[in-house]
Amino acid sequence: MLESSQSALADNKAFLEAINRLPTVRITHRLTRENLIKKMQAGVLMPYPAKRGRLPEWFAHWMDGKHPATWVSIGKPEDVSPALLGSVRQKEWPMAISFHVPSTDIVMPPGFLKHLYGCYQQRLLNTVKIPHNADLYKRVGKNWQLLSLLERQALYAPVATAVAA
């Protein structure tokens, strides 16, 4: 296991170095429809603390890090196999938002086991502004579909209502 962890660390380092050669990189953040609407209303992706569930706090911090973060993957939603995201909560992610961020904002996961998935799961430790032209996706079965203009407008309708109130 130590050998595979060292290999994963080397892969992660090479992956991050390749990303950092670019000025920006496309990221994807998967989330619920409700959270997508909230984040669009806020206009930013803000780091959030590790979700503990029934896990002890020390274990959640060991796995996901002590610092609040936004978990993302590099590329569009379909660029990473769901199996490589390492989560049992994928059904909770029917939506995704994808856009470019400065490559220097990308941070690898801290946890020992997360290093095995480091090329597929990264973190943003800073608040990142969501551009108005960000791509929005919905999960259709095992695939991701880019939202149509009409579907985007339907998502923005709650935003417009909240602003008007």
pLDDT digits (tens, 9 = 90+) for 144-153: 999 998 998 8
pLDDT digits (tens, 9 = 90+) for 68-80: 889 899 999 988 8
Q: What is the DSSP string of the chain?
A: -HHHHHHHHHHHHHHHHHHHTSSEEEEEEEE-HHHHHHHHHHTEE--BPPP-TTS-HHHHHHHH-SS-BEEEEESSGGGS-GGGGT-S-GGG--EEEEEEEEGGGEE---STGGGGGTTT-EEE-S-EEPPTT-EEEEEETTEEEEPPHHHHHHHHHHHHHHHH-
Domain boundaries, the chain: 2-164
pLDDT at 3: 46
Q: Is the pTM of this model over 0.85?
A: no
